[in-house]
Every structure is written in C-alpha cells, then in structure tokens.
Amino acid sequence: MHRFANPTRFVALARAVQPWAMTIALATLFAGLWFGLLASPPDYQQGETVRIMYVHVPAAWMAMFCYTGMAGASAVALVWKHAVAHVTARATAPIGAAFTFLALVTGSLWGKPMWGTWWVWDARLTSVLILFFLYLGYMALENAFDDRARGQRAAAILAIVGAVNVPIIKFSVDWWNTLHQPASVVRLDGPSIHPSMLTPLILMAVGYTAFYIWVLCLRVRADINMSKVRALKLRNA
Amino acid sequence: MNGFSALLKRDLKLAYRQASDSLTVLAFFVLATVLFPLAVGPEPAILARIGAGVVWVAALLAAMLSMDRMFQSDYDDGTLELLVIAPAPLELCVLAKACAHWLTTGVPLIVAAPLMGLFLNLDPAGYGTLLLALALGTPSLSLIGAVGAALVLGARRGGALLSLLILPLFVPVLIFGVGAVEAALTDISARPQLFVLGALTLAALALTPWPAAAALRQAVE
C-alpha cells in the first residue's frame, strides 16, 4: 500500500489500468444490457418491469461499495497521511453519489408499477436517501475551505463518521418490516434468483465496478494533474 | 476530571452572562412550533396527530441553530489552541462542551416542550413519554452536533453546511423519539423506543468525542 502513496507511481498504475477497466466496463455493460433487456425472461409476477432490476440493484451495490471505499481511503489518508488516498476518496465521492442517485431514481420508477407509489418511507429507502445526503455533505465540506488540506482532512473525518450508515442500509430489510424485499443474491444459503436472471445481474455488477474503476482512474489522474498545474501557477505567480 | 468541570463551569458561566443567546434558541423553538398550526390549520385532531413530530422537528432545528457556536468563539479567540495543547484529554473537553450545550439548549427545550404540547393539542397520555424521550434523545443531538461543529470550523457558510452534515445523522433520534410518543398514544409500550433512544445516546457518548477531537486537532493544526 505504501508503495502507491507516491503520486507518480499511482498515476502510472492508473494509466495502465484505465484502458483495461474501460474495455471490461463497455463489454460487460453491453452484454449485461443485452441479456437483461432482451435475452432474459420476464418475471412471472412483475412482467417486463423486472428488467429495471438490472440497472437498479448493481447501482445500489455500488452506492454502498463506493461509500465503503471512500471511508476506507479516508481512514488510510488520516492514519498514514497518504496524499493519494485523499485524492482517491475525493474522486470516489461524485461517482458514488451518482450511483446512489441512479439507485434512488430507478427504484422510484420500479416502485410506481410494483408498489403503486413512487416513494415510501421505509427503512431501506430512507437509509439510502441519507447515504445520498452524506455524499453531498462530504463534497460540500471538502469544498468549503480556502485551504484545500483542511477540507480534505475534515471531509475524511466526516466520511468515517458516516460509515455507520452502511451496515444500517445493508441490514435495514432484516431489522424492519419493509416494503423493500430482503436480499436475494448475497445470502448464506446461496442466491434465490434464477440463473437466467442472475447472469445479466452479475454482468451488470461487473460492468458497474469496472466503470467505477475506469472513471476513478480518470478522475485521480485529472486531480493530480490539476494539483501540478496549481503548483506551477503558484511558482510562476 | 478537573479540566472537565472547569471547562463546563466556564461555558455555563459564559452562557449565563449571555443568557439572551439561549433565550433566542428557545424563542426559535416556540416560534417554529407555532408556525405549524398556522400552516396546516387549527383542527385539533390534525394537530394532535402531528404534535409529537412537530415538537421533535422544532427541537432538532433549535438544537442545531445553536450548535455552530459550540467551538466557534473559542476558535476565533485562540482558546481552542490552548485546549488542544492542554494536559487534559481533548476528548474530555469535547464532552464538557457538549454537556454545556445540552444544559443550555437541550434542557430549556425539554422544559418548554409541555407548553408546545398544549399548543398542539397533544393527548395528555403522551406528555410523560414526550418528556422522557426528549430527555433521553437530546443529549445525543448535542454529542453528534459537536462532531459537525468541530468539522465546519473555519469553513465558508459554516451554518448551512452544518445542517447538511448533521441533520442526516439526527434521523434515527427523530424516528425513535417520535415513535416512542406514538406508541404511548396508542397504548402500546413505549419502552422499546425509549431503550433505543437511550442506546443511541450512550453510543454517541462513547463514540463521538473521538472524531470531534480529531476534527478540532486538524482545525488548529
């Protein structure tokens, strides 16, 4: 880990990983959408609307994955003062917020035909909405200081505090009687979902993850380049 | 513990000498509550239904209103730097600050809450539970708020930012605080909700001083 605390080395790694992540993301997203939207059977109860699942469920997974990654990177940044970890956390926040927004919007579009309402205040929906506000708060706090280093450190502490919400989201469907269904893929007794639907779901999940890595590499490189430009400008000023 | 009591005494003395600050928060609490009957109409049945929720929301907002002052004046005049290098653990200072905030904001809100219940036509059966729930829940608001207040020190637009940071974290307290009163009003035992409120406050007591102290250290670094 300490090896990659060096920005130059990290940028070289990101540059090498980026085209691979892009290829995997585009290939699996294309295949996943084809299987999900065209080549998988409609649900016996939900009909064609079940196809929203292939966009919604991986987005919700990524929303939590990105937050966990952001909190982990923030902890690393605070403990070992890795500058690159700060950059990674900062680059993750808008991506995670976008996934959370996508999960909320597609969930709402799915809820209307299935539950008869765009929104219910059940534990899963509320805790994901709070996750979205935590992302917004992180980004706002990050940008609220004239001194960039201050914003980074304050936002890192906030990201760690907000991590209490992640297990609440995961277990909200078990702890409360919610309209949202409980987990059907990540279960101790194996997935309770038919392989014809599991295949596109897994493809989409891989595609979303690869997309995250692709955009993360792009954003981290852009961020580090921006810092270099800023440093050069300061030197010449 | 010497540092704790000294800081607590100092903050209470400062609050007492500027009593108008605490009274402003109390006035905000009353006004925010009074707006609801004017907005949703004065039908007693509707007010009785939403009463507990309105009191809780107004209490949340009022507590938040005074929160950004928790460390701000000490940060501005340099006292905070002395607290950070003082031999007493900074976590204990945070606890003293949060305790002072609760005594000067939380307790007046609890005292004023029955009057608000009267305004909102709250069923007499709910008063005891409302007060108990507020007493159990509001300390956690001060503790969670301490983290937010420490994080926004020196930020632009600190007040608005603070609400974005800590209102999402207040949601569990709100849910169980209102849930306790609703349970009492429907003749179900309110004990589970009250226990959860107590647990939230105890967890906040144990956990929040660490991030708040870390935020204070990085603020004066």
To the nearest 10°, report the CA torsion of B43, B45, B48, B50. Answer: -80
Where do the structural domains in chain B lie, given as residue ranges?
A: 2-220
Instruction: Quickly state the pLDDT bin for A188 (edges 50, 70, 90).
Output: low
Residue A91 pLDDT: 94
In chain B, what residues touch A160 (CB-CB under 8 Å)?
211
- The pLDDT tens digits for B14-69 are 888 988 888 899 999 999 999 998 998 888 888 888 889 999 999 999 998 888 88
**pLDDT for B65:** 86
Q: Is residue A17 part of a domain?
A: no
Inter-chain touch B218–A126, beta carbons under 8 Å: no
Closest by CA to B138, choosing from B114, B103, B162, is B103
Residue A1 pLDDT: 64
**Closest chain B C-alpha to A139 CA, distance in angstroms:** 10
Q: How far apart are CA A139 and CA B79, in angstroms?
A: 29
- Domain span at A180: 51-236
Would residue A19 count as lying in a domain? no
**Average pLDDT value for residue range A136-165:** 91
- Cα separation, B165 vs B151, in Å, equals 9
Do B70 and B98 meet the contact criterion of CB atoms below 8 Å apart?
A: yes
Spatial distance between the Cα atoms of A124 and A168, rounded to a whole number of angstroms: 8
User: How many domains, in total, are found in chain A?
Assistant: 1
Does A23 map to a domain? no
CB contact, 8 Å: B155 with chain A? yes
**Alpha carbons within 13 A on the beta-carbon side of A126:** 18
pLDDT of residue A162: 92
Does B155 contact A134 at a Cβ distance shorter than 8 Å?
A: no
> In this predicted structure, which of A111-125, A143-157, A220-234, B73-87 has the lowest mean pLDDT?
A111-125
Give, to the nearest 10 degrees, the angle between helix B90-101 and helix B209-220.
110
B53 touches chain A (CB under 8 A): no
A187 confidence band (pLDDT: 50, 70, 90)? low
Indicate whether A219 pLDDT > 80.
Answer: yes
Residue A216's pLDDT is 95
Measured distance CA(B87)–CA(B80) in Å, rounded: 13
Going from the C-alpha of B125 to that of each of A52, A200, B68, B143, B181, the distances in angstroms are 47, 55, 35, 29, 9
